[in-house]
Structure 1
């Protein structure tokens, strides 16, 4: 009996010492998580469907989560192996640093790891001056990108996130931005890195960057993204996690319990929603005729969407092809001629490109026509 009590006591102590396990232990199948963040959101990356939200559209200070935008712009516009010359202005910035020196020439790739793993404000400034020509030029690119992505409650004033009037975003906007960025393989690789050793200018040794994102070590499904803190913003965090092929993004703003709250949201999302694929890449949507020959219009990519168990019971998907390019002008395959819109119970979920494919049926019959024609010609000759 004593052994049983001792075993139970050991398990209890372990649970008390492991808040992540506590959360998993008491979670209920459909109950939304209770979190302490002032604002938060949980979003599915494949579809951008919001699975949980709390004050998600409230504009707030976001601290170093700003660097998610800085990173994706640098990745898209810069050359990763190009050397970046560090200016005195970049070195003089306050806050988190990777200890750059004026005159250093550092590969953009190294600066990006310093930016996202160590939250280097000096790295943010060096990147901004290199990509934008000036900090002001880079901030223009940041706000231009925010407009392109439809971020309605976001405005940037600097590339690092230090508190400044008129510098803000929302949990929802940050989730949209991060979902977009995670579709870039370079960004995805950087933010999931726990530690990396990279060459350092003027030194024979390699500089090690350890990721400040503790969730990468605390939660087995975590694979990104960025931490943040200022006195005005409080603790801010964007994290991502992938389980069974489903990737989710969690955002918490001004949250003293950010690690635990993010894990609660992930467990809720993975438990309550399951990805379904109503449309597969290459699936025939509609068949058309061109010059008396059949063409197949197919889905250009998979479309995946998360559903609850109850939604799966009553789901009714509809696919609507929208042809916006004249088929008579099509002269080769894999040309996008429109989109396929996906509806669930008459509600629009999203769309995928509609591509042209030659009908396999056409190829089959055309070969037989050629054979029959050759026989007829030979018969006439004889």
Structure 2
């Protein structure tokens, strides 16, 4: 068991160009060397966290990003429906919440947990997000993905956002979390995703709503949030739980007390975990600010659109360019991080620009050589 604190190390990053976008390829554990341990990692001089049957977990201070304790933080496991937090985080800024959607039969026929969508009803996107995050509707996940241009496009968007968050353990294959070969996440990544989501007011509204009326062919019916701690734990904000027979139980949640927020994520739990999560949250509140952290929830990387702005067009009224704005939820999440991790994005982007210039120079020389033939 680790009790000695290992200082947070800078990421050694290599840069690969893919479609003109630079991506970090970390060679050390994201968030600190100690987080690479498969065993329990806790600060020296504090009591152990309560026992948990989870194979992997992270307890973190959402305000500072400090990881207070971890067990196999970067272990890759099937995420089940906790991946819906990434689905929501990706699509909330992209879809108009007042847009009307008539779901396809394919969406309505999704297996597993469902809210009961029907092609006979037109739903607002806002309704679908409630169904996604409250009732864990796989049908709602598919309807939202189809509204975003289809599953392939939504997977590209989700995985691009995961990379921007530096959630490198996460590979999304479905918008719902239904098991697929190659799909994965980690307790560390779930904490990163949750922390970014908490900065978005709509995300917070969906995850914290206990019950709501949902459209039906004749009127409405009531749906309830699957997160039992919303009723049991003082200050619980919410986030997402999940379960499949292969993934077993997973959960990521956040609670606020005394103006401070703690995030707990667990993966591959075999049984009833609600009381364990409550105890882990209690422990996080008890040691927050009193112990040296064992790691750090890192900053989101800068928006590639801002890092490499398009070439200027002639300044005429008919031809003007407006740079894409960075999603405010990620701006806010980054602003809450500590200075200890802000150098990571600069290293990655700086390396990416240097590599890009070299690549461009080689391309120009090759074109000139061909022109002489």
Identify if the C-alpha distance between structure 1 residues 342 and 180 changes in structure 2 by more than 3 Å, giving closer, same or farther: closer
Q: Distance in 2 between matches of 1:214 and 1:230?
A: 18
In the other structure, the counterpart of 1:236 is 250
Which SS does the other structure have where 1:58 is aligned?
coil
1:308 correspondence with 2:325: no
1:214-262 deviations in Å (ceiling 9; x for gaps): 0111111211011100000111111111000111111111112421221
Find 1:182's aligned residue among 192, 198, 202.
198
Q: Residues 288-309 of structure 1, C-alpha deviation per residue, up to 9 Å, x if partnerless?
A: xxxxxxxxxxxxxxxxxxx216
Q: Is the 8 A contact 1:105 1:201 kept in 2?
A: no
Name which of 237, 259, 268 aligns with 1:254: 268
Q: C-alpha separation between the residues in 2 aligned to 1:309 and 1:45?
A: 15
Q: Is 1:210 equivalent to 2:227 in the alignment?
A: no
Task: Give yes or no for the alignment of 1:226 onto 2:240.
Answer: yes
Q: Contact 1:252–1:258 (CA<8 Å) still a contact in 2?
A: no
Higher strand share: 1
Distance in 2, Cα, partners of 1:342 & 1:158: 33
Cross-structure match for 2:115: 98
Equivalence for 1:324: none
2:350 is matched with which residue? none
Deviates more, 1:31-40 or 1:145-154: 31-40
Correspondence for 1:37 among 25, 36, 54: 54
Counterpart residue number, 2:187 = 171
In 2, the alpha carbon distance for the partners of 1:64 and 1:246 equals: 26
After TM superposition, give the deviation of residue 108 of structure 1 in Å: 0.4
- Distance in 1 of aligned mates of 2:262 and 2:232: 16
3-state SS in 2 of match to 1:67: helix
Shift of 1:33: 2.2
Closer, same or farther: CA 149–214 of 1 in aligned 2, 3 Å: same
Q: Which residue number in structure 2 is paired with residue 120 of structure 1?
A: 137
The counterpart of 1:269, out of the listed 284, 288, 292, is 284
Q: CA deviation at 1:310?
A: 7.9
CA RMSD for the aligned pairs? 2.1
Name the CA shift for 1:178/1:243 in 2 (closer, same or farther; >3 Å).
Answer: same
1:352-371 correspondence to structure 2 within 5 Å: none
Question: Structure 2: how far apart are the matches of 1:138 and 1:207?
Answer: 29
Higher normalized contact order (CA 8 Å, seq sep 6+, divided by chain length): 2
Note if contact 1:235-1:253 (Cα within 8 Å) is conserved in structure 2. yes
Q: Is 1:45–1:248's contact at 8 Å kept on the other side of the alignment?
A: yes
In structure 2, relative to structure 1, the CA distance for the partners of 1:266 and 1:121 (3 Å cut) is same
For structure 2, list consecutive stretches of 5 or more residues without a partner in the other structure.
Answer: 1-44, 294-334, 344-373
The alignment covers a number of residue pairs equal to 256
